[in-house]
Amino acid sequence: MKVAAIQMVSGISLDANLSEALRLLRQAASAGAELAVLPEYFCFMGQKDEDKLVIAETPGLGTVQDFLSDVARDLKLCIVGGTLPMATDDPTHVANASLTFNPKGTQISRYDKIHLFRYDNGRERYDESAVLLAGDTPTSFDLRSRAGQDWRIGQSVCYDLRFAELYRALAADVLLVPAAFTHTTGSAHWEVLLRARAIENQAYVIASAQGGRHENGRRTWGHSMVVDPWGEILAMQSEGPGVVMAELDIQRLHGVREQLPSLQHRRL
């Protein structure tokens, strides 16, 4: 199954971000992708955290959801919409939600980011809990490839990557990590954590990232990549917008699990 990790450098204009996402998704579809994963905050990187509240959407209604549905249907592509702000019962907080649309344009999953980023090194300070409401439900979906192979796809977002227990609970064939890692934390931990999650779960990892200098002054690490179940990086892009393509081989997946059997994958 051909997959695409979409890397972006999203800005403060929703329309401009969606236009750029469309360009990259078209590129992925033209290259034969069946599954494309957009990065966290693909549709919007505001000047301040509270800006997320302004563009929050309700389930089934909103510009970003319509965009994802229409593009998935038009390109006949399964699209994981990175994340977008979704309204909650608390008007001061939104959910950081990752929505998946199948090639018919139907939403087939929603995952709300569970682990919220908090970091303070004396120079940079982030606290997502100021405007985000944490999710509480591990989420996966099933995807049948054009070749007729069934894949279990486990969802996560960015800071989730540091919490190995989430991925064990997913017990998936492919793990998704749309992200907006800071340059500081990404340079230290992004690759090693992605490869660790692939190795310990004997699963492919598709990590789509924000990568570059944003209009709001933030700098993200990028290095979108696809990692195989042995921990080998199949494809990667360091910075700037682009499409990272790779082919997932289900026989490779089965082979690794047969060589290193675990209770998690005993069904193989």
158 is annotated as an active-site residue:
yes
Instruction: Tell me how far apart the alpha carbons of residues 223 and 209 are, in angstroms, rounded to a whole number.
Output: 7
Are 17 and 8 in contact by the 8 Å Cβ rule? The answer is yes
34, 40, 57, 128: which one is catalytic?
40
The structure tokens 């360091």 sit at 238
Phi, psi torsion values for 20, nearest 5 degrees = -70, -40
Instruction: Tell me how far apart the alpha carbons of residues 51 and 4 are, in angstroms, rounded to a whole number.
Output: 29
Rg (CA), the chain: 17
40 is annotated as an active-site residue:
yes
- What tokens were used for 252? 């490779």
Instruction: Tell me how far apart the alpha carbons of residues 53 and 173 are, in angstroms, rounded to a whole number.
Output: 34
Instruction: Tell me how far apart the alpha carbons of residues 142 and 19 are, in angstroms, rounded to a whole number.
Output: 28
78, 128, 158, 239: which one is catalytic?
158
Q: Which residue type sits at 120?
A: D
Q: What's the CA dihedral at 10, 15, 20, 26 to 10 degrees?
A: 140
Strands, DSSP E only, in 39-129?
Answer: 78-80, 84-87, 94-101, 107-112, 118-120, 125-127
104 is annotated as an active-site residue:
no
34, 43, 57, 113: which one is catalytic?
113
Q: Which residues, 6+ apart, have CB-to-CB distance to 233 below 8 Å?
A: 191, 195, 225, 226, 227
Catalytic residue numbers read 40, 113, 158
